[in-house]
Structure 1
Amino acid sequence: MPVALKKSIPHIILLAYVCIILFPFVFVVFSSLKESNVEISQAPFAFPKEFHFQNYIDAWVQAQIDVYFFNSAYLALSSAVVGVLLAAATAFAITRMKFPKTSKIIFQSVLIGMLIPGNVLFIAQYILMMDLKILNTHWALFLPYTAGALPFSVLLISAFMKAIPGELEEAAVMDGLSASGIFTRIVLPLTVPALVTVFIINFLGNWNEYLLASFFISKDALKTLPTGMVGFRDAYQTNYALICTGIVFSVTPVLILYAFLQEKIIEGLTAGSVKG
Structure 2
Amino acid sequence: MKGNPLRRVFPHAVLAIYIGISLFPLLWVLNSSFKTNKEIIASPWSLPQELLVANYWNAWTGTHISQYFMNSLFISVVSAVVTLTLGTATSYALTRMKFARISKVIGRVLLLALIVPVGSLLIPLLLLLRDLQLYNTPLALILPYITMGLPLTVFMVSAMMKSIPSELEEAGIMDGLSIYGILWRVIVPLAGPPLVPVFMLDFLSNWNEFMMANLFLTKEKFRTLPVSMVAFYDQLNMNYGSLCAAIMFSLIPVVLIYLIVQKRIIASVKA
Tell me whether the two structures share a fold, i.e. TM-score over 0.5. Answer: yes
Task: Note the C-alpha offset of 1:261.
Answer: 3.5
**1:274 alignment counterpart:** none
**Corresponding residue number in structure 1 for 2:224:** 224
- Whole-angstrom distance in 1 between the partners of 2:161 and 2:13: 38
Gaps of 5+ in 1: 272-276
Counterparts of 2:86 and 2:14, CA distance in 1: 41
Does the 8 Å contact 1:210/1:226 carry over to 2? Answer: yes
Q: Normalized against structure 2, the TM-score is what?
A: 0.93
Equivalent residue, structure 2, for 1:15: 16
Matched, 1:201 2:201: yes
**Residue 160 (structure 1) shift:** 0.6
Aligned to 2:159: 159
Q: What SS does structure 2 have at the residue aligned with 1:149?
A: helix
Distance 1:135 1:269, change over 3 A: farther
Deviation at 1:269, TM superposition (A): 7.2
Residues 130 and 66 (structure 1), Cα distance of their counterparts in 2 relative to 1, 3 Å cut: same
Aligned sequence identity (%): 43
Matches of 2:9 and 2:259 in 1, distance apart?
Answer: 24
CA offset at residue 13 of structure 1? 2.1
Tell me the SS of whatever aligns to 2:66: helix
Q: Does 1:184 align with 2:184?
A: yes
Distance 1:104 1:269, change over 3 A: farther
Structure 1 range deviating more: 100-109 or 112-121: 100-109
Greater mean deviation of Cα atoms: 36-45 or 239-248: 36-45
Q: How far did 1:74 drift?
A: 0.8
* 1:20 shift after superposition: 2.1
Note the C-alpha offset of 1:84: 0.2
Q: 40-49 vs 195-204, which deviates more?
A: 40-49
Between the aligned partners of 2:99 and 2:15, the Cα distance in structure 1 is 47
- TM-score normalised according to structure 1 size: 0.91
Listed one character per residue, the Cα deviations across residues 95-152 of structure 1 (whole Å, up to 9, x for unaligned) are 1122222222222221121121121111111111000011111111111011110000
Match of 2:130 in 1: 130
Partner of 2:243: 243
Would the aligned equivalents of 1:29 and 1:248 in 2 still touch at CA under 8 Å?
yes
Residue type of the alignment partner of 1:261: V
- On the 8 A contact 2:59/2:236 being kept in 1, the answer is no
Query: What is the distance in 1 between the residues matched to 2:200 and 2:68?
Result: 20
Q: Name the count of aligned residue pairs.
A: 270
How far is the alpha carbon of 1:234 from its aligned partner? 2.4
> CA RMSD of the aligned region, Å?
1.9
Q: Which residue does the alignment assign to 2:114?
A: 114
1:75-94 deviation digits (Å, cap 9, x = unpaired): 00011001100000000111
* Alpha-carbon distance change, 117 to 264 in structure 1, aligned in 2, over 3 angstroms: farther
Q: More displaced, 211-220 or 7-16?
A: 7-16
